[in-house]
Amino acid sequence: MMGLPLAGVFPPIPTPFDERGEVDDRALLENLAHWNTYPLRGYVVLGTNGEAALMDADERAHVLAVAREGIPKERLLIAGTGCQSTRETMAMTARAARCGADAALVLPPSYYKTQMTREALKRHYHAIADAAEIPILVYNMPACTGLDLDLESVVVIAEHPRVVGIKDSGGDTAKLGALRARLGEEFAVLAGSAGFFLPALAVGAVGGVLALANIAPAQCLDMEKRFHGGDIAGAAATQRRMIPANFAVTSRWSVAGLKAAMDMLGLRGGAVRPPLAPLSAQDREELESTLHQAGILPPARRTR
């Protein structure tokens, strides 16, 4: 993996904004200081939860630079750099490297999705990898792109030595296992959701990029530790308990739900950037109940 050990848990962190809608540097650093108290492998910055699609290139570079200040050198900073054009993605990846990113997570272009053939995707990723100074990870996120990269497409993209892994949020654990079988240990497979973290580990994933790890890092790490320690029943119990909370802050309420959950826990979640909308009072109440039932929100910290 080009000397880049990717085994472990990575929260894809949200970007906090202040009351003017600008990036809140202090809040970002405070959140990182909290997460740094857990033995996380690193962080994904400017992924889907980071609202990168709603920022310009200068804002993205600023977020990466601030995040690097708050992320210890021994922990990885994986930067989301995917854009619609190959040229812009190459430029963003170069900026990420200059900001101190250890790797780039590249979402496939999706606006012209019907033209994104296997060969087109191979050319796109290989051009980015040719130009990059840091390793590249493929980001499969069909819920946002409308593209679900199949096994053979990932295999041909992975022919480039600088393409070292994939974060797959599609939830097809059979494909994750097949990728591990086809590409071996040198290609890192990372689960893209805590909802299927344990099954992914069971078929060969080395870790996960888990939105839930922003609000439940201990539980996500517990699953990983129990799995590797042979306590499959214990890992499965944690997995089952986390499924409703994970659904709440991903598929159901997405970034707004995750930021609201962070606020409930005393972290700096804050507002989402328009056109995303905040949770209603009723949704917040339901989210709070879900977090309480999962044991993520202690009874003493419940809001009214």
Residue 244 lies in a domain: no
Q: What is the reported pLDDT for 200?
A: 98
Q: Give the largest Cα separation in the chain, rounded.
A: 55
> 87 lies in which domain range?
8-229
**238 is a domain residue:** no
Q: Which of the residues 167, 175, 225, 259 is marked catalytic?
A: 167
pLDDT at residue 136 in the model: 98
pLDDT of residue 300: 52
Phi/psi-derived region of residue 147, left when phi > 0, alpha when psi is between -120 and 50, beta in every other case: beta
In a domain, 243, yes or no: no
In a domain, 274, yes or no: no
Residue with tokens 């496939």: 108
Residues of the chain with pLDDT under 50: 1, 301-304
Which tokens belong to 225?
């530790």
> Could you tell me the CATH number of the domain that includes residue 39?
3.20.20.70
Domain count for the chain, please give it.
1
Question: Given this model, what pLDDT does residue 121 score?
Answer: 98
* CA–CA gap between residue 137 and residue 6 (Å, rounded): 11
Q: Does residue 279 lie within any of the structural domains?
A: no
State yes or no: is 122 an active-site residue: no
pTM value?
0.96
